[in-house]
Amino acid sequence: MDALWEAWQQWMMDLRVGGAASLLFRAFFPALVVLGLGAILAIVVWVVSRGPARRARTLLVLGLLEHLVRAGRPIETGLGEVGQTGDRGLGRQLGRLSYWLRCGVPLQTALERERRLLPPEVQAVLRAGLQLGDLPRVLPVCRQLLDRPRSRLLGSMMYVAWVAFGLAPLVSAWILVTGRYIVDHWNQLTGEFGIAQLDYGWWLRWGWLLTAVWFALGVIMLGLILGGPWIRGWMQPARWPWWDAILWRLPWHRKRVLRTFSLVLGTLLDAGMPEAQAVRTAAECTADGMVRLRAVAVEKALAQGQPLPAALRKLEDREELCWRLTNAARTREGFTAALRGWQETLAAQAAAQEQAAVQLALTGLILVSGVWVAGNAWMLFGALVRLVEAAG
């Protein structure tokens, strides 16, 4: 670390006496800093706007499918003709899907080739409808997956997180570079008056490591946000879904996954699909590795002769879904109607819990930043007051 610092000092010294090179560096360095900050802000704005754009694209595809179903037209033919309009607002993914359909590729295969067109949950539900041969039955389920309430503070949380993990490392690096000169001169000045000097040695020794770790966290966060739900496919193995295991610990995520599972399971059971196949398909529609692993245990329990409500205890610890399915089997309304009230409760509880967690996280970040600013102000201005008192 000392060798790197000496090399940096030598490079800065060369710039001071380097004539034209020094002038160019001093002229363009502020512009590069401004451009870097502008690029970070542009990335933040683009990332925040991706969610509504993705949802609008999914609603467009579902609207086209519903229109073709109501009109009684073949879906492959109708979607293939949509791509021939030349409308750029359809997007590249939908244009490529239309191209595959015009080439004679089945809709299910075309959806697998264009995985980024729709969210994984919606794609899995559409594939289940195609397997049933009853696509209109699953289209309302896709709508319900998109109409789930979300916390309004998620956008604010993303901005604050980017300030914490994006801009803060740059500020820390700037403190490391300038603090070496400022603190040394300050200590020389205060040392003449016998005032306690600022102890920045620990920061100068470990600051580079802390800044690197902080910046690495920001890069990882950027990758997770940009990759969206598709990044989990290659980030975790199917037999060890470590990321989904972490998310499963979050109560609002678990409630949303159970809501999706129950939505699809009730629809498939009402359509007459065998129980084991319905459980497997509903687990795939959640796009969650933990649910897929637990669904395997449910299938084994069904193969051993256990009834579906008892087998689903392998999936949910609280057994509320088991109780709901037991009551649904005794009614004539069907599983979908019997589970609707519970699903709405799950969605509302998930939104409330997520909003509370975001508020706590925002409050924590604000408190930490306040303590950091107050500590630096107390240290610097306290030394300044003692310097003035000693000079007087």
Query: pLDDT, tens digit, for every residue of 253-263?
Result: 899 999 999 98
**pLDDT bucket at 18, cuts 50 / 70 / 90:** very low
The answer on pLDDT for 21 being more than 50 is no
Residues 6+ apart with CB under 8 A from 101: 76, 77, 79, 80, 83, 107, 110
The answer on pLDDT for 154 being more than 60 is no
Cβ neighbours of 95 (radius 10 Å)? 18
**Low-confidence winner among 103-112, 156-165, 252-261, 362-371 (lowest mean pLDDT):** 156-165
The answer on pLDDT for 64 being more than 60 is yes
The answer on pLDDT for 354 being more than 60 is yes
Compute the distance between CA of residue 291 and CA of residue 22 in angstroms, rounded to an integer. 60
What pLDDT does 19 receive? 45
What burial class does residue 359 get, using C-beta atoms within 10 Å of its C-beta: 0-12 exposed, 13-18 middle, 19+ buried? middle
Q: HEC states along the chain?
A: CHHHHHHHHHHHHHHHCCCHHHHHHHHHHHHHHHHHHHHHHHHHHHHHHHHHHHHHHHHHHHHHHHHHHHHCCCHHHHHHHHHHHCCHHHCHHHHHHHHHHHCCCCHHHHHHHCCCCCCHHHHHHHHHHHHHCCHHHHHHHHHHHHCCCCCCCHHHHHHHHHHHHHHHHHHHHHHHHHHHHHHHHHHHHHHCCCCCCCCCHHHHHHHHHHHHHHHHHHHHHHHHHHHHHHHHHHHCCCCCCHHHHHHHCCHHHHHHHHHHHHHHHHHHHHCCCCHHHHHHHHHHHHCCHHHHHHHHHHHHHHHCCCCHHHHHHHCCCCCHHHHHHHHHHCCCCCHHHHHHHHHHHHHHHHHHHHHHHHHHHHHHHHHHHHHHHHHHHHHHHHHHHHHHHHHC
Report whether 218 contacts 165 (CB < 8 A): yes
User: Mean pLDDT of all residues in the chain?
Assistant: 75
Please give the residue that has the higher pLDDT: either 231 or 158.
Answer: 231
What pLDDT does 261 receive? 92
The answer on pLDDT for 90 being more than 80 is no
The arithmetic mean of pLDDT across residues 29-37, rounded, is 56
Please give the residue that has the higher pLDDT: either 363 or 382.
Answer: 363
- The closest alpha carbon to 206, from 232, 230, 244, 179, belongs to 179
pTM of the model: 0.71
The arithmetic mean of pLDDT across residues 22-38, rounded, is 53
**Low-confidence winner among 62-66, 148-152, 308-312 (lowest mean pLDDT):** 148-152
CA distances from 124 to 111, 261, 282, 294 (A): 10, 11, 9, 18
**Low-confidence winner among 71-75, 135-139, 229-233, 370-374 (lowest mean pLDDT):** 229-233
Q: In the chain, what are the domain boundaries?
A: 50-129
The answer on pLDDT for 203 being more than 80 is no
What is the percent of the chain with per-residue pLDDT over 90, rounded to a whole number?
Answer: 5
What pLDDT does 97 receive? 87
**Low-confidence winner among 44-58, 272-286, 349-363 (lowest mean pLDDT):** 44-58
Report whether 269 contacts 275 (CB < 8 A): yes
Query: pLDDT, tens digit, for every residue of 279-321?
Result: 999 998 888 888 999 999 999 999 998 988 888 888 877 777 7
What pLDDT does 88 receive? 72
